[in-house]
């Protein structure tokens, strides 16, 4: 629902959110009057606050006459009223210094970027990297038993990954060799995404030169990477405890810890940000990926040399996080990761 506010209502909401982010406490009309700086009475401010409450942007805790922003109020503030800070030169240099410690090795770079982002933002930081973007150098199948096999994937940068798979009934050693030889001959230098799409198409259209057994092997083998196509790194969970200022925030933090442990919804959330350019902000229970009230996610994608989104980096913290500082920080870090990955 679109809510149109006049200049005074926007100013009142802006000051209430600013004060809430700073203190976490309900904000009264007297405080707002002092912040506004123009000739307006407390009664007028109270009327404006009552209107903002009526349209769902503020609410009054039962223990206080003051007001707090609702999640809808925070979203309107972030997307329409927020003035971003310029990330300071000192912070930019610190992010660059830490990231360059990785010697431009991708995995180390993402690890360092996540650590420095958590430290500077005082929030939990996270990064997701799309495994399907990696380029295939070689694939091998190893028979472990009559029922299980090992798929060994070697990527262009030398990374080796293993997956255990259930073999189709009746699989022979020569079937494994034939499947590996076919992949290595036809798809060397292709991304996993390209290989999976091509294999699936060939099997469906019966165009493959392989017999039914080998086709099944390829389908099962690449399915293991489809089921685990992204890797999530999370750092700085203890930062959540530093942000607790009220007892009622403890339950929110407990719920968020559970989300961080499960990871699956986080992967979906961060992957959703990869499909959109720029910084994405998910506030509280608005997100279908995370139903934790009182918490927010700020995420931005990073790209490869072909300008394709291949991952995302961001932070999660209390809904009253310092958005004006954190949003440009996440944006700068994502752009730096893009630059360094492609150096």
Which is higher by pLDDT, 131 or 189?
Answer: 189
pLDDT at residue 37 is higher than 60: yes
Rounded mean pLDDT of the chain?
A: 82
pLDDT band at 305 (very low <50, low <70, confident <90, very high): confident
Which is higher by pLDDT, 243 or 32?
Answer: 32
CATH number belonging to domain 89-123+236-341: 3.30.450.40
DSSP H stretches of helix in 135-172 = none
- pLDDT for the residue 128: 83
- pLDDT for the residue 94: 96
**What is the topology classification, in CATH, of domain 134-225?**
Enolase-like; domain 1 (3.30.390)
- Cα gap 46→155, rounded to integer Å: 63
- Cα gap 201→75, rounded to integer Å: 43
**pLDDT tens profile 44-57:** 999 999 999 999 99
- pLDDT for the residue 336: 96
DSSP class of 83:
-
Q: Which two tokens stand for residue 17?
A: 């959110």
- pLDDT for the residue 95: 96
3-state secondary structure of 226: helix
**pLDDT tens profile 258-285:** 767 766 666 666 666 666 678 989 887 6
DSSP string across 249-267: HHHHHHHHHHHHHH-HHHH
**pLDDT tens profile 54-88:** 999 999 887 667 899 998 999 999 988 888 888 99
pLDDT band at 163 (very low <50, low <70, confident <90, very high): confident
Residue boundaries of the structural domains of the chain: 7-81, 89-123+236-341, 134-225
**pLDDT tens profile 143-153:** 999 888 888 88
* Residue in 254, 250, 304, 308 with CA at minimum distance from that of residue 277: 308
pLDDT band at 233 (very low <50, low <70, confident <90, very high): confident
Predicted structure pTM score: 0.73
- pLDDT for the residue 262: 67
Is domain 7-81 classified as CATH 1.10.10.10? yes
- CB burial class (10 A; 0-12, 13-18, 19+) of residue 53? middle
Q: Please compute, for residue 205, the number of CA atoms within 13 A of its CA located in the half-sphere on the CB side.
A: 9
pLDDT at residue 14 is higher than 90: yes
- Cα gap 297→121, rounded to integer Å: 12
């Amino acid at each position: 629902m679109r809510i149109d506010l006049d200049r005074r209502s926007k100013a009142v909401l802006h000051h209430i959110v600013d004060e809430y982010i700073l203190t976490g406490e309900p904000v009264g009309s007297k405080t707002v009057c002092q912040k506004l700086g123009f000739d307006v009475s407390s009664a007028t401010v109270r009327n404006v606050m009552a209107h903002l409450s009526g349209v769902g942007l503020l609410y009054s805790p039962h223990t206080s006459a003051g007001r707090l922003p609702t999640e809808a109020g925070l979203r309107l503030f972030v997307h329409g009223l927020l003035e971003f800070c310029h990330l300071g030169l000192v912070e930019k240099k610190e992010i660059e210094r830490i990231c360059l410690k990785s010697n431009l090795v991708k995995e180390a770079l993402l690890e360092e970027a996540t650590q420095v982002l958590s430290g500077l933002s005082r929030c939990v930081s996270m990064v997701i990297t799309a495994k399907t973007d990696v380029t295939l150098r070689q694939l091998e199948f190893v028979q472990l038993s009559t029922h299980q096999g090992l798929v060994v994937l070697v990527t262009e940068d030398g990374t080796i990954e293993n997956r255990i798979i259930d073999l189709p009934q009746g699989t022979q050693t020569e079937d494994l060799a034939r499947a590996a030889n076919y992949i290595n001959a036809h798809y060397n230098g292709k991304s996993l995404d390209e290989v999976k799409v091509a294999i699936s198409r060939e099997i469906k259209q019966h165009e493959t030169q392989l017999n039914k057994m080998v086709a099944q092997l390829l389908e099962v083998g690449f399915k293991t990477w489809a089921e685990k196509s992204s890797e999530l790194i999370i750092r700085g969970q203890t930062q959540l405890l530093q942000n607790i200022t009220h007892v009622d925030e403890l339950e929110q933090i407990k719920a968020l810890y559970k989300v961080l442990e499960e990871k699956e919804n986080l992967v979906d959330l961060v992957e959703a940000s990869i499909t959109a350019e720029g910084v994405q902000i998910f506030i509280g229970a608005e997100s279908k990926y995370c139903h934790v009230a009182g918490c927010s996610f700020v995420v931005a994608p990073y790209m490869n040399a072909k300008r394709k989104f291949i991952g995302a980096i961001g932070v999660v913290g209390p809904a009253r996080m310092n958005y004006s500082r954190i949003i440009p920080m996440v944006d700068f870090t994502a752009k730096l990761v893009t630059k360094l990955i492609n150096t």
